[in-house]
Structure formats: structure tokens, C-alpha cells
Structure 1
Amino acid sequence: MFINKKNERISFSSTQTRFDYPDFLEVQVKSFQEFFQLKTTPDNRRDEGLYKVFQENFPITDTRNNFVLEFLDYQVDPPRYSIDECIERGLTFSVPLKAKLKLYCTDPEHEDFDTVVQDVYLGTVPYMTDKGTFIINGAERVIVSQLHRSPGVFFGQSVHANGSKLYSARIIPFKGSWIEFATDINNVMYAYIDRKKKLPVTTLLRAIGYESDKDVLEIFDLADEIKVSKAGLKKVVGRRLAARVLKSWVEDFVDEDTGEVVSIERNEVIIDREIVLTEDHIDEIIDAGVKAILLHKEDQNQQDFAIIYNTLQKDPCNSEKEAVLHIYRQLRNAEPPDEATARDVIDKLFFSDKRYDLGDVGRYRINKKLGLNIEIDTKVLTKEDIIEIIKYLIKLINSKTDVDDIDHLSNRRVRTVGEQLFGQFGVGLARMARTIRERMNVRDNEVFTPIDLINSKTLSSVINSFFGTNALSQFMDQTNPLAEMTHKRRMSALGPGGLSRERAGFEVRDVHFTHYGRLCPIETPEGPNIGLISSLCVFAKITDLGFIATPYRRVTDGRVDLSDDGVVYLTAEEEEGQIIAQANAPIDADGYFINQKVKARLDGDYPLVDREEVILMDVGPNQIASLAASLISFLEHDDANRALMG
């Protein structure tokens, strides 16, 4: 038998693919390697993956800040058993994880306490084989990538029972509380915190520093400020007030407990907003000692911002302090002890990087959507974000822009193995940090080392339960090599933080035009999971931010760039508005389109365009299909259901 005889492969395709196939396992292997960063030296490690988890959870201090446990570095020892031994003996193919920790004392009373640097064993961690699988208790398992809604801001629309359209903007963070801005049937805008606590959006603006009506109206350039004088006020009689006229004074009273004299600022509304100024009001305003009043601007744009005036009417607060206390009451259903505590609660919700994190993706999406230039390192919300979101929502209400398409692939991203492990290590190390803190508090006067503080089972138990019980950790399909490969390239919208079969509607499951070259429209299971589980297309790659990109060749003035440098990978967002020719469009040896008119694709449409208008071209006819579907010969002549069976 001629085992090594190479059979000549004959291609019957009418269009030859001039593009090399990528490494099909890259989606698994690259993600895992970037998580562990074992090939980079400790000094050169990027702030991501396992290194980032350690940085987020360390240093750990006791309650009195006497002892500090710092993280220096981590290392992985070689596995104890080989892959074959693990399969044979029913073991987990894992590596011991060790961290170099430094314990020192900041309290001068503990002079006898020496700084200790130790390598501490944190437990064993399942390690990926070269084939992109894990061996857990002797069985090969695969961590399926999850397709979930990307962090960022989403603008949506719903229809009320009475037929009026309601608009909303939802900010979804990587970690932290959700905040939603929504309109109601009375044309008032509310902010919802964690989907339950509701308050007028102007109350939130006051709490973040836009204290007076004047400050709020100035954000949107809605009012004219008029200095108070008899002559000046007479000129503006007949115009409507944009803000309340407040009389302010300071009241002193003696605190019964301390005997101190305390001053409190009092406000009284003399004339409410939206009232037309008359001659009678002039003396009232002057007597109250008001310095300036705010009037509606006399231009056409006022109508667009009617919602801001309506919201101010509903706003129960007049100052920053009142707004902060009001939000605290809404969130906690209790009276705040003092203003500082109330402010602290609000700051922790959205402006503290410990509690709130938009992630790289969230910040990138918000900047892109709202046209902001905020630093990518700013992972918390800023005042600018909130104001721009409100302005965008007002544009939406006035039909000056469109709502987001939730099924567009620029709004969905992939959580690969590395990111899922990042979440699990985060949970495990946070638990470990809690026990370390407790042990530090107990061992007050003793001499102890990092090893005494750490229980290695804490982290291992979290990681092992993830590999053993998580919905996305699946027993590998080993029917044949193709089934194995397909399983590793699968994308699931199910699992923790994703959709559930019962709740997923028709739109989520449907094929979207952005799936072209990214997710296969053919390969999806029949039954309850249809459309929720899909497969990555042959040439598709996953970007650093987790979006799926597909390759195209550049086209200039009707000439296709056939060199390797002429290939560009585009995400769904980058592809918007591009005119793309099909891979089977006839071209000559130099890359020029033969026909004057070329059949092309523009977002969800298929126009016939002049060859000079084409910007990009598909790299191959099988670009649209997954690995398994593209192996079906003459796929285009096959019945859709039969292709699915393949």
C-alpha cells in the first residue's frame, strides 16, 4: 500500500480562492495563550488576562491597614501527568499555579515583623492542549465561545398601548449597575437605576453638579439670562420664565446637642417656571433680591427640547444637596444619615472604578456612538457621557436619528475561553481575598507568612466547578475530526449572561445581513436552539475587542488588489456603507473587472453598480459558509434543508 502517495486534488469550483485558510483553532488557542501570557516575561506582561485579575484583587490589607499583602508575579509549573496518562487514568490535565507574594507591616509597633516574599501555591488549573481542548477527569471538553450583547449604550424604541412611541437609552457596563434613560407618554424623561428606581433625569443632572435650573438649561443652550433691573424687566414682559424665581436666605438656629449656632440656607419659590412675565411680577422679583432671571429663548429649536422643560416641572429638587438626598432615598428606601454618605453612594454606583467598569469595549462603543474623545482608560461614566446620551435621546425623539438594531453584529461580541476564565478567576480571587482579610484580622500579634493566609482550595474549587458544570463547558463531540473542529468553532448565545431558549424571540434567531462572512447562515441546529447556536465562517477572525471580522480585498478604480497586502479584515461596524463585489465577479489577470456593471452588496441591499464604485471584494465564494458547510460539494445547488443535514 502506498500510504504516502499524495493524491492530486482537483478543484471543480468556477472561482479559485486566492487566499490561504487561517488556523481554524486560533479562536480557542490564541485566547487561552493571551489569558495566561506564559510566553512573555513578567516585566513585559500586558494588563490583561490572569495578570489583570491579580492586579484587581491585590494588594490586600487588614481592617486597620497594619499588614499589606502585595502581588509581584505568577508562574506555572509543568503538568504532573501527560495528556495520555490523564485520559487513561481519568485525571484532569492541569498545571500548578504559583504566585509570588510580598507581606509587610506598616505599623511601627510591630518592629519584629520582617517583610516576607514567598512563592505560594494557589491550586491546580486545567490547561489547554494543543488541540484547543481541556481534559477534565479523563474526558475531553471544549469551552464554547459565547455571543452576547456588547457593553456600551443602546438606543431603543417601544410603543405604548395608546400608540405613542417611547424611546430609551440603556447603558450596559461590563461590571456594575445598569442605568436607563426613558421617556413616558407625558413627554418627561426619567432615569432608571438597576431597572427599578425611577427619578426625573434633571434630578440626576443636579446630583452630578448641574445644580440650578440655570445650569441644566445651559447644557442644552435653552435660556436667556436677564439681569434684574426695573428697565430690563419691562423690556421682557410677555416672555415665559424658563426657571423658577427663588428667594434665598440664611437661617441660624442653635443645635440642642452641641449648643453651636448652625446656619441653613432656605429657598422659597416666588414665581414658578413656565409663567408668562407680567408688570405685577417686576416688583416681586426686585423685592426678593434676585440677581438674574432665566427666560425661554425665542427661536425655533425650543420645541425640540420641550421634554427638558417638562422634566424640570416634575423635578422635586431645587439644589444639588436635595437631589443627592432624593436619590439616596430612592435607592435605599431610608433616610440618609448625612449628605456625604448619600453622595458616596451615588459616586460608588457609577463613578468608582472598584464598583463600575465599562471595560475597553464599553468605552470604545460609547465614544464611537456619541462622537466623544474620552480616554480609553476611563472605564467609569463621566458627566459628558450622561449629557451626550440625553442629547442623543432628544434627537431620537425628534426623529433626527435612528434607533439601534440590537441584532447587528456591531452590538454583539464574542466571549472566548480567555474572557470566561477571566470572570471565573475574578470570582475565585475575590473569595480568596475575603478569607485572607479575615485571617489577617485574627492574627494580630503573631508572626505569620503569606502561606499561612492562603487556602489553595478556594480558587481551585471555583475553576473546577466552571469546567465541570458551566453550560458552555461541553463534552467534546468526537464523532469524526470535522465534528471536533466544528465544536471548537461554535458560537452560542445561551449560557450565563446570555439568552435563554424560552425568552429568545424570532428576531434574535434570524439571519442578519451582518452575519455575511462572520456567522454561517446554514449551520445551526434544528429545534429549540435554532439560530441561538451558530458556527464561525471559514475566514472569520475575532478581534481584540471580541467583534467578528471577515477579510476583503481592496478595490481601487475597478482594479482588485490580488497581493497579500491587499487583504483587510473588517468588523460589521467598519463594513457599513461599503460597496462590496462578490468573489465570482469576473476579473482579468491584472485584477480589473471585466464587466462594466458589477453585482455588489451594500449593507442589506444588492445593487448593480459601476465597477469604479466598488471599494472591496469578497476573498472567496465560500466566505459566507462555515467550515462544515463549505465542504459540501456544489453547495449552491443543494436544497437548504439538505445542506443543513450535512
Structure 2
Amino acid sequence: EGLMPQDLINAKPVAAAVKEFFGSSQLSQFMDQNNPLSEITHKRRVSALGPGGLTRERAGFEVRDVHPTHYGRVCPIETPEGPNIGLINSLATYARTNEYGFLESPYRRVKDAVVTDEIVFLSAIEESDHVIAQASAEVRDGRLVEELVAVRHMNEFSVKAPEEVTLMDVSPRQVVSVAASLIPFLEHDDANRALMGSNMQRQAVPTLRAEKPLVGTGMERNVAVDSGVCVTARRGGVVDSVDASRIVIRANDDEVEAGEAGVDIYTLTKYTRSNQNTCINQRPLVKKGDLVAVKDILADGSSVDMGELALGQNMRAAFMPWNGYNFEDSILVSERVVQEDRFTTIHIQELTCVSRDTK
């Protein structure tokens, strides 16, 4: 009688374990906040290091190498160059974990050469018995039309008749990670260069004026929204007022539940320092009186233009010699690039100094 929970349970070891994990664990990291892509990539990272894992010195070639079961689960391209190569990987675009912690990849069911819309998620163990066609296999009126279809079966590549196919890939980009799927015409690139490209996109500093790419892959909008740097509408409605730092939306009557406020107020982040000392700033996209629906983009974040990821600038390039100034990997830049602030960036640093009054 009269016992309190703290009389029965000692919370100190639990608190200590939580503190240790978040405070000093190898896997508790400071978010890479260079740009929206580096944020989302950091959150999707898969590591073989850390407590209960391998160490860099002990990991051999086999552990680091690409394995057939990586297909659709772990990206074969995106991994750091250097001592960590192959030990730190990135989750593939559509991969998810199942209840046992194994990575699963989605597939469309195929019955008698007819491709259905039913989607199943399978782990590497479950998929080995299936005959899986590629996403690029030719389908006409819902049927596989080629006489022989390129398939994966028992971790091997081969060709089989369309009637033998049981599953089909969901999309050509389910093999690669988010960063690699932002590279246009990835299939024409050398794997080593694609790896460098995936890693270097994460180092792009947000420019003063973002400009969305002329050539994209269709993933730009998804990355911008899913990284969380844009402001999206929680409920549909009409824009009541907009200024640089806040957006007020009067929600639709049918979306307001009893006891809820009928107004949504979104406060924008203005000129804040990121972990990498770059500038985080949100700019409103909507005007007063605009109609918005749920999940519409209300404000751009850093490196986002009209709701699309915009890591760089669209420049006109010429491949030509210029008095030796562009020898090997040197480039020549027009003065107008500087005048138009094309690559101007804002960096915010926080400096602290201690003043002591000594007697």
C-alpha cells in the first residue's frame, strides 16, 4: 500500500543506457545539414560499424563488396571512398525494414505473364525462389511481350520465358539510393564516377538564389518534401495572410474536426545557422487568397526552388581550349557569374568569447 513506482524500479541504469547511447555512441551523430539531400541521406544511412558491429581494421574484402542480396535494399553505388568503403551504405529508394529488422524490397506480382498491380515486400531470403523480371521489361496491355525475359533467379541473372516469371521490379530506381537516383542518365555513367557524384551532391552549399535543374529525374520534388526543409500544408484551405516569416491558412470546414482551431499558422525559419554553418531560410510560395490542398508546398527551404530540390545553378558550359587556362581539370568562369551572384552563399558562424574580470 502507498508504494510509488520509483520504490520498485531503479530508473538509473535505464537513464544511463539512454544517455550513453545518445551522448557517446558511435551511431549517434550530429546531423549533416549541408543541404536537404545530405539531411535525408544521413537519415537513411546503414552502417556495419559501431557497438555490436565490425571495426574498420577487421573488415575484409567480402564484407565490403556488393552482394546479390543488396538488390533493391542497399544501394550498390553510394558508399564513402576511403577506409569506410562498403561498411557504410545507403538504403535503396523503396526499401523498408520488416518486423524482424531485415530489409525488404517491393515487387509486383506476375501471373501467367500478366503483370498485376498487387505489390509484395520481400526480404532477401523470401525472394530467392522467385523468378523476378526487371522493371524495364517490355509490357504491353499488362502482359510481358518478349519471347525471353531477363530475370533474376536464385541470385543469378538469366533469361526465361514470360510464363515462368512470378514477380517484377516496381521501378528502375529501386536498385539505387536517393542521391544516386538524382543523377540523370545514371545508367550511362561509370560506377566509380556515379559514386563520386552521389557523394558530392551532399557537399553542395545552398546558393543565395536556388534554381531548379533543367534536366532532372523526377525525384527532386520528393527529396525536397521528404527531407522536411519545405513547409507543407497540414490541412486544405484558403491563405488568409502571408509575410516573410509566417503563413496563416483558414482551413476548409469539412477538414476541421470538433474542438479544433479552424486556422493553421505556419512560422517560417529565417536565416538560421545549420550544423555546417550554412544558412537555413524559408521563403513563402503562396499568395493571399490562394487555395491550398493537404500536403501542398507552402514555402521553399534552402536549396529548394518551387518545391523542387535545386542544389546548383544551370550554367552554359563550352568544351574548348582557352589559352591553356583550362588545362586538365582547370575551368574558366565568366565574370558575369560573379556579378549575377550565381554561386553566392551565406554562411552563419556562431563565435563565443569569454570575458573575465580579474582582480
Q: Give TM class, smaller chain.
A: 0.5 to 0.7
Amino acid at match of 1:477: D
1:611–1:459 Cα change, 3 Å: closer
Map of 1:522 onto structure 2: 77
The number of aligned residues is 197
1:487 aligns with 2:38: no
Does the 8 Å CA contact 2:108/2:119 hold for their aligned counterparts? Answer: yes
Distance in 1 between the 2:57 and 2:146 partners? 49
Amino acid at match of 1:604: N
After superposition, give the CA deviation of every residue in 1:112-138 in whole Å (9 maximum; x if it has no partner).
Answer: xxx224354xxxxxxxxxxxxxxxxxx
1:615–1:456 Cα change, 3 Å: closer
- SS of corresponding position for 2:149: strand
Does the 8 Å CA contact 1:514/1:603 hold for their aligned counterparts? Answer: no
Map of 2:132 onto structure 1: 580
1:500 aligns with 2:52: no
Amino acid at match of 1:501: R
Map of 2:107 onto structure 1: 552
Map of 2:144 onto structure 1: 593
Amino acid at match of 1:484: E
Map of 1:645 onto structure 2: 196
- SS of corresponding position for 2:140: coil
1:642–1:459 Cα change, 3 Å: same
Map of 1:608 onto structure 2: 159
1:177-576 aligned within 5 A: 450=7, 457-561=12-116, 563=117, 566-576=118-128
Aligned-pair distance for 1:597?
1.2
Amino acid at match of 2:4: Q
- State percent identity of aligned pairs: 58
Distance in 2 between the 1:456 and 1:560 partners? 55
- SS of corresponding position for 2:63: helix
Aligned-pair distance for 1:543?
0.3
1:153-164 aligned within 5 A: none
Distance in 2 between the 1:457 and 1:570 partners? 40
1:118 aligns with 2:4: yes
Aligned-pair distance for 1:639?
1.9
1:621 aligns with 2:172: yes
After superposition, give the CA deviation of every residue in 1:279-303 in whole Å (9 maximum; x if it has no partner).
Answer: xxxxxxxxxxxxxxxxxxxxxxxxx
Distance in 1 between the 2:175 and 2:27 partners? 25
Aligned-pair distance for 1:577?
2.3
1:636 aligns with 2:187: yes
Distance in 2 between the 1:583 and 1:492 partners? 28
Bigger helix fraction: 1
TM-score w.r.t. structure 1 length?
Answer: 0.30
Does the 8 Å CA contact 2:128/2:155 hold for their aligned counterparts? Answer: no
- SS of corresponding position for 1:467: helix
Does the 8 Å CA contact 1:579/1:616 hold for their aligned counterparts? Answer: yes
Aligned-pair distance for 1:486?
0.7
Distance in 2 between the 1:462 and 1:571 partners? 31
Amino acid at match of 1:479: N
TM-score w.r.t. structure 2 length?
Answer: 0.53
Distance in 2 between the 1:636 and 1:608 partners? 21
Does the 8 Å CA contact 2:79/2:85 hold for their aligned counterparts? Answer: yes
Distance in 1 between the 2:17 and 2:101 partners? 24
